[in-house]
Amino acid sequence: MDPWGGGGSLGDRVTVARDRAFVGRTVEQALFRSALAGEPGAPPVLYLHGPGGIGKSTLLRRFALEARRTGRLVVTVDGRGGPTPEDFVQAAGKAAGEPGSVLLIDTFERCHDLNGWLWEEFLPRLPMDSIAVVAGRVPPDPRWVADPGWADLLRVVTLRNLAPDEAAAFLRARGVPAAAHRALLSFTGGHPLALALAAAVAVRQEGRRTPRTPDRSPAEDVMATLLPQLVSDLPSPAHRTALEVCAHAHVTSEALLRAMLGEHAAELFAWLRTQPFVESGPSGLFPHDVVREVLAADLRWRDPDGFAALHRRMHEYLLDRVRAAPAARMVQAVGALLYLYRNNGLMAHAHAWLPEARVRDLPYHPTDRERVLELVHEAEGAESAAIAAFWLDRQPEAFRVYRGARNDDIVAASAWLRLEGPEGEDVDPVVAAAWAHARSTEPPRAGEHLGVSRFHVHPPAYHRPSPVMDLIRWRSTGEIIRSDRLAHSFVVMRDDGFWDTHLTRIDMPPVAGGPVVGGHSYRLFTHDWRTNPVTSWLADKSDALVAGDTGAAARSSRQQEELVVLSRPEFDTAVGDALRALRWPEELAASPLLRSRAVANSGGSLRDVLVRAVDALLEERGGAKRHRALMATYVEATPTQEAAARQLGLPLSTYRRHLTAAVQRVADILWRHELSGTPMEPPVAAARPAVTAQPAAAAPPTAAAPPTAAAPPTAAAAVAGTREHTSDRRRERHARSAHAKSWGTGTR
């Protein structure tokens, strides 16, 4: 019978067309047909999983068609709306009441909160000869795969791209000319949705007889033809940039567009919402996976510099958001920042990257104690639970709980321990290992602390990528970025090798050895944030992404050396030595302060930073006299302490007291910036009128009144004046020698 005859409906025609166009998936179809036939050993429950656009929904429609041909009742449930158990029963209840029914559940990743209920309550109620197929983007909960009750009933199938011969058959079925196959297969890699979109473009091109550009590669040619069909004719360059922002960001809000594009953000956001390939979520807009990657690939190929500029602007904006976000929004801000690096190294395998969180990250409350300890006990054992109780008593604010988005049950917990002293070393082997490593390398200095990401307990996916693990790791990253005076951070994972490569590639190598708790070995991954601060660490990752470097070699591109960690006595000594060498560039070049955070983060030379610190004394109460002592001693050309005291009109003992106090205050100022990592900004005093210093070799004055408070000379101006008078290298060497003999080792 002709399917396009007068009988039937449009739906029948759609079904027949889909049936004719379907190719591949022979293994999956064979499994389903064996279940339909009731063959011995055939699994009554199939779980299909794979990324968006891989063909899950298409395969379910195929299963439905085959099941109906055998006369079975077919019930389909779409989890896109995140149904409650009541919603699910209403949609799927018929399947539980009729023998031989076929239940098809699509988009199950949106039904995360139904996991336990589905396997424990609903599926067991299906008749013996029923079949259930569950499809989603993420693998099934490990509990059910490992459950002996389901072992003989459940078969998990990972859907992958079509094989080359299947993909070619796919294109033939859609009428794509053979001459275009190679380019389309090369570009799409057999991804079904990408194939479908590209096939539609190629057929349309052939109908219009659009010529192919001969000097482009196949992938470039496909992108050039596919993109216009996906996005039509864009109204303006701003609309194209808005699309590119949407493709690069995790989700795009109007605020993000405003930061990237300015005043037309509202108009562009509204336009994005109307595009058929853009979806909406609680936090903003995001394109379909295939469209996202096509847009991103096109920008990187078409305008590498434009891609780099866009990435860096978004990086800075999102990093600022992490630093400024309220505590309740910090995790979401970190997720948005890290998503920029989703294709860098192993990031794609280490994150779930679901558009909408299935759980909520919330502060710990004392009423949560029993459930938190229960989770730790389930995941790690009784000894670990006792250690968790110890930390709950001492740092309850360090703990977070993760509640299901719909049922509000606590499903996971974690902690970020802040350790300022050795408390807990005798109780927690993990903390003892962290302190042992810190002491054996560069121990925390006064005012610094350790951070330990501890107790990542989510029993269904313990220490494995999942929406919960995303939130736990994002919180740790946020704590690192926002932390004040963090020395070392430690991430604690079960020592099974799963995280070794990923964490090492992001500059968190494992500590030698590992503690044992409750019979389980753990591994600590660490980073010293004083030697490679957050800003440069993220800049390394940003540069690697822009350069297309996804491996461990990315770190070799770093433009500056790792910083040094000086103790306070070492730091004070280095400051005193650097002040004495302020006018001698060769000696300053050897100072360890050059690799200190106080200098590296200030965006200037060591000389500039010292000058800023000296001039900062003018802003302090009573700082003018200390400033004058430093000026006379280290900036101006006074050859001896006695001459400096005469120039300032002070008794020698008073002058020396002022100088000692001044050097200590400069060290204090710089030490504060060393610990905090904040830049040393030029003080307001640096803009005051300057008094030009005397030449380096000039004779000392016999008597000089102290500079008046109305217009004190600044170190910045005096150093500039000194530079103008010391171009003669012989005179400079002579003055330097005389100065060293007169001043000895200094006055500290």
Domain harbouring 259, CATH code: 1.10.10
Please check whether residues 432 and 373 belong to one and the same domain: yes
| Nearest alpha-carbon partner for 403 in 362, 453, 456 | 362
Report the C-alpha gap between 35 and 218 in whole angstroms: 42
Please check whether residues 610 and 546 belong to one and the same domain: no
| Residue 92 pLDDT class (50, 70, 90 cuts) | confident
pLDDT value of residue 254: 94
What percent of the chain shows pLDDT beyond 70? 81
* Residue in the structure block whose two tokens are 């023998």: 99
Q: Is residue 689 part of a domain?
A: yes
Please check whether residues 704 and 605 belong to one and the same domain: yes
Q: Is residue 414 part of a domain?
A: yes
Please state the rounded mean pLDDT for residues 115-144.
86
Report the C-alpha gap between 262 and 242 in whole angstroms: 11
Please give the angle made by the CA atoms of 507, 430 and 427, to the nearest 5 degrees: 160
> pLDDT: is 626 or 401 the higher one?
401
Under 8 Å between Cβ of 647 and 668: no
pLDDT value of residue 649: 86
Please check whether residues 226 and 243 belong to one and the same domain: no
Please check whether residues 508 and 540 belong to one and the same domain: yes
Residues 40-78 have pLDDT tens digits of 889 999 999 887 778 888 899 999 999 999 999 999 998
| Nearest alpha-carbon partner for 50 in 135, 111, 119, 145 | 135
Q: Is residue 216 part of a domain?
A: yes
Q: Is residue 124 part of a domain?
A: yes
Which of residues 158, 184, 210 is at a domain's end? 158
Please check whether residues 629 and 716 belong to one and the same domain: yes
Q: Does the pLDDT of residue 253 top 90, yes or no?
A: yes
pLDDT value of residue 718: 55
Which of residues 311, 340, 369 is at a domain's end? 340
Under 8 Å between Cβ of 469 and 456: yes
Q: Is residue 98 part of a domain?
A: yes
Please check whether residues 446 and 493 belong to one and the same domain: yes
Please check whether residues 471 and 367 belong to one and the same domain: yes
Mean pLDDT of the chain: 80
Residue 9, SS3 per DSSP: coil
Q: Does the pLDDT of residue 414 top 90, yes or no?
A: yes
The CATH number that applies at residue 90 is 3.40.50.300
| Residue 255 pLDDT class (50, 70, 90 cuts) | very high
Highest mean pLDDT among 483-487, 622-626, 718-722: 483-487
Is 0.75 topped by the overall pTM?
no
In sequence order, which residues have a C-beta less than 8 Å from that of residue 284 and are 6 or more positions away? Answer: 251, 252, 253, 254, 256
What single letter denotes the amino acid at residue 559? Q
Which of residues 230, 257, 281 is at a domain's end? 230
Report the C-alpha gap between 394 and 416 in whole angstroms: 13
Q: Does the pLDDT of residue 555 top 90, yes or no?
A: no
Q: How many domains does the chain have?
A: 5
List of E strands, 79-151 = 102-106, 131-136
Q: Is residue 707 part of a domain?
A: yes
Please check whether residues 678 and 664 belong to one and the same domain: yes
Please check whether residues 142 and 182 belong to one and the same domain: no
The CATH number that applies at residue 412 is 3.40.630.30
Residue 48, SS3 per DSSP: strand
Q: Is residue 3 part of a domain?
A: no
Residues 606-652 have pLDDT tens digits of 888 888 888 888 888 878 888 888 888 888 767 888 888 888 888 88
Report the C-alpha gap between 344 and 554 in whole angstroms: 10
Kindly report the number of other CB atoms within 10 A of residue 558's CB atom: 16
What percent of the chain shows pLDDT beyond 90? 28
Give every strand in the sheet of 102-106, ordered side by side.
Answer: 74-78, 102-106, 131-136, 45-49, 154-158
Please check whether residues 38 and 112 belong to one and the same domain: yes
pLDDT value of residue 623: 84
Q: Is residue 489 part of a domain?
A: yes
Around 91, how many Cα atoms within 13 Å sit in the side-chain half-sphere? Answer: 16
Residue 669: give the domain boundaries: 568-743
Pairing of strands 486-494, 520-528: antiparallel
Please check whether residues 85 and 220 belong to one and the same domain: no
pLDDT value of residue 727: 38
Please state the rounded mean pLDDT for residues 257-276.
89
| Nearest alpha-carbon partner for 364 in 426, 306, 410, 295 | 410
